[in-house]
Each structure stands twice: as C-alpha cells, then as structure tokens.
Chains A and B, each alone.
Chain A
Amino acid sequence: MLVALQICLAPVTTSAQEEAGDDLLVLAAASLGDVLPRVAEAWHEQGGMPVRFSFSATSRLAPQAVQSSADVFFSADEEWMEWLQSRGAVDADDVRSFLGNRLVLITPASAAEPVSLSGLAGVAELALAGDNVPAGRYAREALMHAQAWEAVSTRVVRAGSVRGVLAWVARGEAAAGIVYETDALAEPAVRTVHVFPPGAHRPVRYPAAVLVNARHPEEARAFLDFVSGAQARDLFTARGFSTDDARGPAQAAERGTGPSVGSAIRISLLVAFLATVVGLLPALAIGWLLARHDFPGKILLSTVVLAPLVIPPVVTGFLLLSLLGTRGLLGGALTALGITVPFSVLGAAVAALTVGLPLYVIAVRGAFEAVDEQYEELSWTLGVPPRRTFLRVSLPLALPGIAAGSLLAFARALGEFGATIVLAGNVEGSTRTIALAVYTLLESPQGQSATWLLVGASVAISLAALFGYEALSRRQRRMLEDRRGR
C-alpha cells in the first residue's frame, strides 16, 4: 500500500518541492518562524539546497526529531537539545549555539492602563507558553526571580507555543504575557513593558544541530555554517536576535512568510483524495467481510478497524510514528525501500487514511447490508458462483452506497489534524493542510483574512462532500426500494 502511495506521489512531490527528496528539512522553534525562512532564502540564492521548515514548540518538535529523517533541529533551549543527545538523535560535537534572545513582558498595545512587573498580581490573566515549552520555562524562572510567581500563578493561562501567547495578547484576550523580544518586535499590536535583565533566568539560547538521521548531512552542516555566518547574522540582528555576544539594533521586523492558502487547499485535496483512493480496496474487503461473513475473529477485526474512531487522533498519530517512523518497527524496511513517511505528503495521507478508514468501512458495510441477500442467493441458483455474483449483483447494487462512503471518508480526511501533525508535521508546501494552516495562522500575528479564507474553503468542501454522501445514500435506497411491486 505504501509503495503504491509513493508511486502516486512521485509527480506531485516533484512539483511541490522542485526535486523529490532534494531539500533540507529543518525543524525549528516557533520563535524562529519569521527569520529562518529569510536566511534560507539567502542561502538558496547563493546555490544552497532548498529548505523546508516545520515550526512548532520545541517540546513538540523534539520527539518528532527522534523519529524522523529531518536534517536540522533548532531548539529554543539547551535542555531539549541535551534530551536529543541522550536519545542519540544528535551528536554532542555537532551542536552549535550562536543565537540568543531576551524575554519581555508585553500587554496589548490598546490597553488603557499599562501593566508593570510589580503590578502583575492585579492582571486578569497572564499568558505563558506551556510548562515544557522553553519560553514557558524561562518565564517561570524570571517570575520566580522577581518574586512574583506566587502572586500570579493562579492567573496563568498556557498557550501551546510562544506564538500562541503573542496572538492572545495581541487580540486582547490576555491582559499580559511573556514572550521573546523578537516576537514582541514583530507584532505591532503588543507593547513591551518590561525587559527581563540577564541573570533573571537562564540565558535564552537556540542550540542548533545536524540530526543523526539526516538525509543530507553535508548540506545540513553547510547550512548551519551559513546560518552562523556574517550575512545571516545581519538578518538575525535586524529582527532583535543576539548573535554570539553582539546584540544588533532592534528594529521592528518585516512580516515573515506565513502559510499559503492555495497550497494548503491543494495539499488537503491531494491528501484526502489519496487516502480515499488507497482506502477503497481495504474498505471494500473489510466492509464485505463484516457484512456477509461469519468467521472467528470477526469482532476482533471490527474492533481493530474501528478503533481510530475513538482513540484520540494524536495517539493514533503517535502509534503510526512508532510503527512507520525512521526508527519505528517498520522504519528500517521502509527506509531500505526508499520510503520516508514522517514529514511527507505520504505521512499525511497515511494519517488521514487510518483515521478515515472506520467511517469508510462502516459506510461500505452498510451499503452491502442494504442489499437483500436473496439477490445473491437467486444469482447462485441461476448458476453464477459467489465471486462472479459479487461482481454482477452485490457490487453494482451497493455502488451508490460505496460511493457515498468514499465521500464520507474524503470529508473525514479533509478534517484530519491530530494524527497528521504528529506523523507528518506541519511543513509548508508539503504537509500543511487546511486544518494545519488554520492552526498555524491562529498562533501567528498575521493573516486574519487568510484564516477566514481557509475556514470558508474547509467548510464549503466538507459540506459539499456530505451533501454528495446524502444524495448517493438516498439513491441506493431508492434503487433497492419497491422491489415487491406497487
């Protein structure tokens, strides 16, 4: 099945990323989301390999880095990098640390009364990044150092990443928040009211390293050379990052490259289409078995197939990653075949298929069960054995219902999020589907209109698919009705 998918995908990936496999995959902390694509652009202009990014909270990326064949990892703190070393995903010699940042307290720019550090106890809510996210850890250290933690800890609201904190404060949904200076600079809707001094928390460093499983280790090292070089340093300092010990002039940064609406819709449709087409045969086989046959293990089969319906998709994604990741149970075999599942369209399609299959099977089973068994029995007595009876009677009579099931699976695949982000990541132009793009936009300062466009497209496509499902189901019912005459 995977091989077939890979074959289907070949032409598509080519168009999406110039040459299949010939690019660097970089996993990077969310706070680098504006600047790193610029640096990569400059590197590509000078003949470097094209670079794809997956930006998220470091805590979310690190486990993915262990399982994937990504090339480079940018952590937002030392601890997660050490964790990767302990897992053997990174060589200690390969770690470089040349980027730094500062922590700031922000309020909405529109806030009437500015909040100060000493007055924090009075704010309604203080937004911080999650407990395991570096920005969240630094913030807690800084507040404890300022002896303000006790007073505010009950008012803390946690966002998934530092970008989430920024978005909440920018929209005024949190009265204050703690983010990196570079984030505050990039967002005009927030005001910096306090810069935490060095010594208030461990220094914010961004260690970067080439991953042990990198597909292109040489190019990855060259990329890190470039990122730590003079030209890139200007790009970093222009956005408020410190490089080594030199702190550049802090200016408001230009807007970064956000998710593309067109690419998200295209990827969503492609992923859903692949999942639906590849899922058809298994859905037919399992649906038919469950509808027409009694056999030992029938309940077990049904349970296993339907399980993704009730298991949290994130868990399903994790199980798939453990199975198909480069270090997963089947990872070695897949790698030998030249197939990479994590962070690829293939991964997104596998995730969508796994999560969509239960609905597919339920619909196909229902379509077969709606066909009166007497039609098949009658066909047998007319000298047509079961296999040909299936093709001449069961399949044509169930066809509208099967088509309806395909549309349902398609719609479910479009909506898939949890398993996709774990297995396939959130890679612009390759695995960032509509759902992931909306999620990304919600945590980024720009793109309200892009969000609405995607939301509109998502709702429209899903409703169209459901409408088709209903129409086809009705058609099958009509075809099978009134067989006893009027």
Chain B
Amino acid sequence: MAADTWGGIDMDVRVRMGERTLDASFQTSARALAFVGPSGAGKTTLVRVLAGVERRAKGTLSVGGRTWMDGSGSTMPPWERGVGWAPQEALLFPHLSVRENMAYGGAERSAVEQMAELFRITELLERRPRKLSGGERQRVTVARALLSRPQLVLLDEPFSALDRPLRAELSRTVRELLDRRGIPLVLVSHDEGDADILADERWHLVDGQLVRN
C-alpha cells in the first residue's frame, strides 16, 4: 500500500474481558502506532480485535479506508484482512520447520532466505520450533508476520526475550523495512523503549481504557 493512500485506523470497539471491559475508541492516521501499558490492561485483546480473531468484540472498525467491522456483527474474516500478526507467545507451528513456518503464508523461497538473513536466523531454517530458544522463536514469528505480504503488521511484545542491544537493533531493522515498503504498524508493549524506536504515535492503555499520550 503506497504511503499517500493510507486511510488510517478508525476504531470504536468494546470487548468484555471477564470482569473488565476493553473500551477502545480512537482515530488516527499515523502509520506506526504503539499501545503501551502494564500486563492485563487489554493490549493483547486489542491486537486480537485487529487480527479478526476476537469473537467477543462489538463495535465498528475500519482500517486503511476499508470496513472490517460494520457494527452489525458482520466482520471481515481474518484470512481476508491481510494482517501480519506476531502473537505474544511466539507461536510457531510445532509440526513444521522454521523455513516451513516462515513460508506458511505463501512466501517464496528467496524471500524467506532474505528475511532470515535480516533477522540472523539463517542457520535455524531447517530446525524444528522445539529446538529454538525463546528469543529465536520471537524472531521467526516476526519474520513470518512480515513475509505474509501484510496490509497491516501487528506486533505483540515482539522481542521481549532478547537482550537490550539486539532488541534495539532488530526493532530498527523492522522499522526500516516497514518504512521502505510503506506498511503500517500497530505495536503493543509494556516497554517504552520498543515504542520509542518503532512508533510515531503512542497511546497508553490502562485497565481497558485508552489515554492519548
């Protein structure tokens, strides 16, 4: 999606999370957006709403000028949204190798290898997920999200298992790549440092409520 046609995000959604409610109502045209807050504030739920897998969500949502939730319960299914989702748990398909995981969304071999080089996981390509460390999994998960030709990238605590220097370096790598390709980003993290590098606009999420920075 070219930079000049990005229509921003217009969200007005509520999700009941047990006893609390996530109340996410905002409008933005920023391309790189961060939601920062303590754990349990509803960050992951917010990302799941954008990914289209949160069945409890009610309200309206339009992204890049397209309607994803129209308020009547009709929702664009996740397989049509084109989101590159890197879930917090660094979920890799356990029956597939790292290479197969990265190519799952249909990426070509050369694209997979390029991305592997960028994330310094080339030597892991033939391994099974269970042989990876937590940090290695996170890198594969983010790489896979970027390889699925996304219209919007969703990163949920993407590099929390890495040490500071590598974490900052990879965050910059992701930022450059997204800027170059003109792909918008939503990041959620409890860490302000991630947001400093990856995002232009920052919201705080506390107890299910959004506060503009």
**Residues of A in contact with B (beta carbons under 8 Å apart):** 372, 374-375, 377-386, 392-393, 396-397, 479-480, 482-486
With a 10 A CB-CB cut-off, give which of B90, B105, B161 has the most chain A CB atoms. B105
With a 10 A CB-CB cut-off, give which of A378, A396, A483 has the most chain B CB atoms. A378
A479 surroundings in chain B (CB, below 8 A): 94-95
B53 lies within 8 A of chain A by Cβ: yes
A393 surroundings in chain B (CB, below 8 A): 93
B84 surroundings in chain A (CB, below 8 A): 381
Main SS of chain A's interface residues?
Answer: helix
Contact B133 A485 (CB under 8 A): yes
Q: For chain B, residues 115 to 172, give those with C-beta under 8 angstroms from any C-beta of chain A.
A: 129-130, 132-134, 137, 144, 148, 161
Partner among B82, B91, B144 whose Cβ is within 8 Å of the Cβ of A374? B91
* 20 A-B pairs whose Cβ atoms sit less than 8 Å apart in the complex: A372-B91, A375-B93, A377-B48, A377-B51, A378-B85, A378-B91, A379-B104, A381-B148, A382-B79, A384-B104, A479-B95, A480-B94, A482-B130, A483-B92, A483-B94, A483-B129, A483-B130, A485-B90, A485-B133, A486-B134
A-B contacts besides A380-B79, A384-B105, A386-B79, 20 pairs, CB < 8 Å: A374-B87, A374-B89, A374-B91, A375-B91, A377-B48, A377-B53, A378-B91, A380-B77, A381-B81, A382-B104, A383-B105, A385-B79, A393-B93, A396-B95, A397-B95, A483-B89, A483-B91, A483-B92, A485-B161, A486-B134
B106 lies within 8 A of chain A by Cβ: yes
Contact B78 A381 (CB under 8 A): yes
Q: Which residue of B lies closest to A385 (CB)?
A: B79
B52 lies within 8 A of chain A by Cβ: yes
B83 lies within 8 A of chain A by Cβ: yes
Q: Which residue of A lies closest to B144 (CB)?
A: A382
Contact B134 A485 (CB under 8 A): yes
Q: Which residue of B lies closest to A388 (CB)?
A: B79
A386 surroundings in chain B (CB, below 8 A): 79
B95 surroundings in chain A (CB, below 8 A): 396-397, 479
Shortest A206–chain B CB gap in Å is 65
Q: How far is the CA of A380 from the CA of B89 in the complex (A)?
A: 17
Q: A484-B134, A486-B133 are in contact. Are A381 and B79 (CB under 8 A)?
A: yes
Q: A380-B53, A486-B134 are in contact. Are A397 and B82 (CB under 8 A)?
A: no
